[in-house]
């Protein structure tokens, strides 16, 4: 299966990702909450169909963070979606390595997404109970 992966661009947030988050009943994060104002990640396509996307955060340590991984709710081929998500997580992880990170961190609640991360070499850490965010 051949998927195309490209860096997110200015239009992707409003034209694709906000609808995906809403389809999955998530509240879309504000654009300025995301790396590079919504452009700091990658999106995976099967031909002209967007399948999934995700972001990387860089820190002031050797830790990078993969987050806001979301897929096209209307893309119903679960096997292909899994392959696309696996390629996405691998790409996000490689990008962190290229940026000099020694560790990649991800907070995940979805069991199927946890399985994908494990398949590409992540190991389970401590269980967290609640995200805490404060708008400054």
pLDDT (tens digit, 9 = 90+) per residue, 79-88? Answer: 999 999 999 9
Q: What's the pLDDT band for 118 if we cut at 50, 70, 90?
A: very high
pLDDT (tens digit, 9 = 90+) per residue, 66-75? Answer: 999 999 999 9
92-100: average pLDDT? 97
Q: Which residues pair with 46 in a beta bridge?
A: 49
Q: What's the pLDDT band for 40 if we cut at 50, 70, 90?
A: very high
Cα–Cα distance between 55 and 74 in angstroms, integer?
21
Determine the angle formed by the axes of helices 78-98 and 111-119, rounding to 10 degrees.
60
Q: Which residues pair with 106 in a beta bridge?
A: 66
102-107: average pLDDT? 94
23-34: average pLDDT? 96
């Amino acid at each position: 299966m051949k998927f195309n992966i490209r860096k997110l661009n200015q239009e992707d947030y409003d034209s694709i990702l906000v609808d995906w988050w809403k389809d999955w009943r998530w509240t879309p994060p504000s654009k300025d909450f995301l790396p590079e104002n919504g452009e700091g990640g990658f999106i995976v396509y099967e031909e002209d169909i967007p399948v999934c996307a995700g972001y990387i955060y860089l820190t002031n340590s050797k830790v990078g963070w993969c987050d806001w991984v979301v897929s096209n709710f209307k893309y119903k081929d679960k096997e292909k979606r899994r392959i696309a998500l696996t390629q996405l997580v691998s790409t996000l992880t490689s990008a962190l390595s290229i940026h000099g990170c020694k560790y990649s961190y991800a907070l995940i609640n979805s069991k199927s997404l946890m399985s994908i991360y494990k398949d590409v070499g992540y190991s389970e850490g401590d269980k967290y109970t609640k995200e805490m965010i404060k708008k400054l």
